[in-house]
Amino acid sequence: MTDAATERGLSSATAAKRLRELGPPPETSSRSVSSIVAGNVFTLFNAIIGGFFVLILSLGLFADAVFGLIAIVNSYIGIRQELKAKRTLDELAVLVAPHAKVLRDGAVQSLLAEEVVPGDVVRIEPGDQLVADGETIESRGMTLDESLLTGEADGVRKQPGDRALSGSFCISGSGYYSVDAVREESYAGKLAGEARAFRHPPSPLQDEVNRVIVACTYAMAPLALILLLVFSVRSIDLVEAAQTATAGLVTLIPEGLVLLMSVTFAVAAVRLARKDTLVQQMSATESLAAVDTICVDKTGTLTDGELRLLGIEVADGLEPATAHAALARFAASAGDRNRTLEAIGERFPGEAERVSGEVPFSSEWKWSGLRIGSITYVLGAPDVLSAAGALTLPAGLAHRLEEETAAGRRVVAFGEASAALPANASEQTAPRLEPVALVVLEETLRPDAAETVAFMREEQVDLKLISGDARATVTAVAAAVGVPPDAGTIEGEELPEDPQELAEAVQRNTVFCRIKPEQKKALVGALAASGRYTAMIGDGVNDVPALKQARLAVAMGSGAQVTKGVADVVLLKDEFARLPQAVAEGRRIARNIHRLGRLYLTKSVYAATLILLVAIPGFAFPFLPRHLTLAVFLTIGIPSFVLALAPSDGPLYRGRLLRALAAFAVPAGVATALGSILSFFLVDTVFGGSLEAGRTAATTTLIVLGLSFVLLLERGPGREHIAIQSYMLGMVIALGGLYAGILAVPPLRDFFEMDLLSSAQWFLSLLSAAAGLTIASVLWRLPQIERLEAPAES
């Protein structure tokens, strides 16, 4: 095997490199368990929390270890939630897993990859992905794309005796091969171990949240240094220093943000799975919220993919029966039975004959041919054949072609010749043909296509319709789905090769006709190069290069195996209308994460401000760690799970999340810290209350402010029109009542080392909370703060 691979340039180093770039071959699992447990920034923060947890235990502060325990429980909940989602998605993933057409007991059986064994004979057709290695035993123009292994974009035409390797897929023709290596023993399987480190690039939201967390990390280091210096200068006792450091520094960590983002992704994936939409990458759902351009293929995406033969227009001087018999002969004998040939064969059944030469259909040359006896038959795109000089249509057929294509129908030309087929169709054209007939076919537009396109336009998502069909056919379909008549239209031969000019052309135009697979890939790449976040929707083998180039790949459930294998999202029942639902789910996720980001960043700013107030002016630290544990539980823990899953009306921040979150969190965090310190100062120092009473007052002010800001998360500056949801108000009242209950129950009050406040102390606590809200309101209206939330100037 190694020698055969080396002869064709498949060195192990090259193949391993390609596998690392493109990832391992698609598996039935939507996400590995190891990627759930590890691989994100959250792991680092749990380690930090764990360190503080061990420190506290070593000092004997068992009650204060609750905060570390919460972090561990949070991790457990997140992992369990993702594992549960993974099991649900795995059940659906089997529907799109690669299958092999295996000859057993004289019949073709469809088997999963793990069911194929050495000695099986597998039939290969266009779109099939090879799941095992073997030797080709029959080829009818079978051409394999081995780019996953070699990086070479050109297909490799196989002859009997050639190696067929797993990881490749059929792009044209058909054939059989005998399996001799499966799974770990296959060529791709031996290299897969080197590719396990492959990870899909993070979504925009994951990138932005990581930036928020990194910013918190950078802030924690200098603040920790300041605390250490202050403790050293003031000769503070080790136990008191540990309590203060733990209470202050741990609060800086947004320990639940990434956890809840992961849980939200998992829940969204399960929600979409119930709507027959399979998310194969957890972050793909949220990525839909960032999509600003969608490239769609016409056939199988906007149309239902089913071809109906409407009629045959026979050339003058030929008997219809003669033309029909020739078409039946061609359809029955072809090795590559695509949908066009199946429609013809259904109308004109015939017996297969011995073929002495065959050119399978390819989107590259857009025609197919057979040599039967002394006659060569060719079926293909009339404009392509005419442009190549292989076909000249008589006036009657030319007029009929114009009428049918203008009506949005697909028309293919059928001709015959005495000359043989070319040896290489990619370099040579078809022989000179005598026209026999035009075959008129019709595709039905999906009933939800126009509505879906209209939704995308309302959501300011740009649409690019890319097709290999003729200009008249594609523009007619575009008009039917609501594309404006003045939208730019361009054909493949008109596309410039210069990258800059191509980028300008793809920006100007909406409808792209007679596009080859590599051109489709170039168009998607040009959109990405110009800063677009592009999704590609396709179903056929010719869509695979563009799907791999797109930032988000969406496949139809009835599409080719390899198409579903490379997709991030699969519409299992081919319902195009599911796409808006997926987009809405993605935007719900993004809004919820943005809302959570305001909450967690407020906590971090509050903690940083409190540390500075304690360290520099020398204010007494007003909390024990258990007080902050209680406050975080009531103002962050419970609300964050509700906020992660409930609907949100807040804005979307694309590419400016850290700035926008800071616009809310900096005023809110600073105000909370000042209000807490003020409450402690008034009760403990000015009015001579006990230390416990001062800490209780500060905790009360902290919780009141925290719950107030939970209500204001979506309203904020410039968003006063957004109503406070009744469920949010009810939750805040319930959490406030829970805190009052803790103060009222002596055992709980004693556990948290708190005191029962007098009416005057309650007044001072609430007065400090009102002062904090006033400070936040003033800061929110500062021009410097308002500019943070404003969109960046382009």
Beta bridge partners of 172: 143
Type of residue found at 554 = V
β-pairing, 132-145 vs 163-164, is antiparallel
Helix 691-711 vs helix 657-680: crossing angle, to nearest 10: 150
Question: Rounded to whole angstroms, what are the CA distances from 326 to 311, 331, 604, 707?
Answer: 15, 9, 77, 79
Tell me the torsion sign for CA atoms 155, 160, 162, 167: positive
Question: Rounded to whole angstroms, what are the CA distances from 211 to 71, 163, 217, 681?
Answer: 21, 47, 10, 36
User: CA angle 422-426-427, nearest 5°?
Assistant: 70
Rounded Cα distance between 467 and 517, Å, is: 9
Tokens 């009997």, located at residue: 160
Contacts for 5 with CB less than 8 Å, ≥ 6 apart: 11, 12, 15, 163, 165, 187
Q: Is 432 helix (H, G, I), strand (E, B) or coil?
A: coil
Under 8 Å between Cβ of 520 and 548: no
Q: How many CA atoms lie within 13 A of 486 on its CB side?
A: 0
Q: How many CB atoms lie within 10 A of CB 442?
A: 17
Question: Rounded to whole angstroms, what are the CA distances from 19 to 52, 188, 192, 330, 551?
Answer: 41, 8, 7, 40, 18
Tell me the torsion sign for CA atoms 237, 240, 242, 248: negative
Q: How many CB atoms lie within 10 A of CB 210?
A: 15
Helix 41-58 vs helix 66-93: crossing angle, to nearest 10: 150
Three state DSSP letters for 175-196: EEEEEEEEHHHCHHHHHHHHHC
Under 8 Å between Cβ of 125 and 101: yes
Under 8 Å between Cβ of 522 and 501: no
Q: Cα-flanking dihedrals φ and ψ of residue 101, to 5°?
A: -90, 100
Q: Which of 340, 294, 360 is nearest to 439 (CA)?
A: 340
Under 8 Å between Cβ of 536 and 546: yes
**In the structure, how many helices (H) and strands (E) does the chain have?**
30, 21
Tokens 């000249």, located at residue: 392
Beta bridge partners of 314: 437
Catalytic residues: 297
Rounded Cα distance between 680 and 621, Å, is: 9
Task: Please list, residue by residue across 493-530, b when 16 or more beta carbons sit within 10 angstroms of its beta carbon and e when fewer do.
Answer: eebeeeeeebbebbeebbbbbbbbbbbbbbbbbbbbeb
Under 8 Å between Cβ of 515 and 468: yes
Task: Please list, residue by residue across 289-313, b when 16 or more beta carbons sit within 10 angstroms of its beta carbon and e when fewer do.
Answer: bbbebbbbbbbbbbbbbebebbebb
